[in-house]
Structure 1
Amino acid sequence: MTLRPALAAEAERLAALEATATAYGWRARQYGDSFAAGHDVSVIESDGQPVGVAVWMLVIDEAELLNIAVARLYQGRGLGRRLLQSVLADARAAGARRLFLEVREGNAPARALYRSLDFVETGLRKNYYPGGADREHAVLMECTL
């Protein structure tokens, strides 16, 4: 497994990866917009294929994790932790003092991962995420770097 910066030309591949991870993942256009905005995008690949991705941005001394996903077949192998630890280190090195994120309230594995890396829950955005017939709350979390 190799962790490296992603390339803008990989937007379609990253969207395809995400489609295997979640029903409501980013599309190629969202990845393209992040590349155009200068967001940091990292990818973990296996045998030349992306299997995990993380997108984050820095605003002055605060960072925000915009997206993180691991292909379904590769979940549970520590790749999400590896990606997030890389984002934390990169954000710290860039001068960020805090990292923010939001996560689906029902995504217990992700929330446990974030808590294990010293994130704390700071708020709730009600009915934020699409979820079929209903909408799902977003839990706001942050970590001091």
Structure 2
Amino acid sequence: MTAPEHGFGPQSIRAMELEDLDAVQAIENAAQLTPWSTSHFRDCITNANYLCQVVTRDDDPVAFLILSRILDETHVLNVVVAPAWQRRGIARLMLEQAMDQARKDAMSVMYLEVRESNTGAQVLYRQLGFDVCGVRKNYYRKGDGHENAVLMQCLLSGGHK
């Protein structure tokens, strides 16, 4: 699927493949305080209940999205854009596409957790129709301590976009 330009040139969203693992791991390591392991990504790619996608530019991954889908619920597990490509609408593009597909597949709700300190992401999620529905205490590791996660949900049948 080729996506329209969003300020960073032509890109496409496609299924993540095992051959993408090195690039995905590099993006994860560069952007996350507590990165997932390569084996975690491999497990997601090979599990039918997970939807794993990459956004590529010139065939090179610049971002990825991992969702789990169980019954009528979708859970955003990981959405990461390489630091050099952030603030160009890539995360919004991935999430909008995933939300559209979830609606087509009769999913009723999409959940995610976000670091309490990640106010920029929280603004994006609110713009996409997500609302705060709880807090997970000490959910994320942070240096030598922990940080709360803000739990957010978007009711997909309500027509938010």
Q: For this structure pair, what is the TM-score category when the shorter chain's length is used for normalisation?
A: over 0.9
CA distance in 1, matches of 2:94, 2:52: 10
- Match for residue 152 of structure 2? 141
- In the alignment, what sits opposite 1:108? 119
d(CA) in 2 for partners of 1:12 and 1:27? 11
Task: Return the TM-score normalized by structure 2.
Answer: 0.86
Alpha-carbon contact 2:16-2:45 (below 8 Å) kept: no
* Identity, % of aligned positions: 34
Q: 1:44-90: per-residue Cα shift (whole Å, max 9, x none)?
A: 11122111100112111111111100000000000010011111112
When the two structures are superposed, what TM-score results if normalisation uses the length of structure 1? 0.95
Give matches, 1:1-145, under 5 Å. Answer: 1-38=11-48, 39-145=50-156
Q: Which runs of 5+ in 1 are unaligned?
A: none
- Misfit runs of 4+, over 4 Å: none
Give the aligned length: 145
Encode CA deviations 1:100-133: one digit per residue, 9 max, x unaligned: 1111110111101000001000000111100002
CA contact (8 A) 1:55 1:65 kept: yes
Larger Rg: 2
Give the AA of the match of 1:24.
Answer: T
Distance 2:40 2:23 in 1: 12
What is the RMSD computed on CA atoms of the aligned residues? 1.1
> Unaligned stretches of 5+ in structure 2?
1-10, 157-161
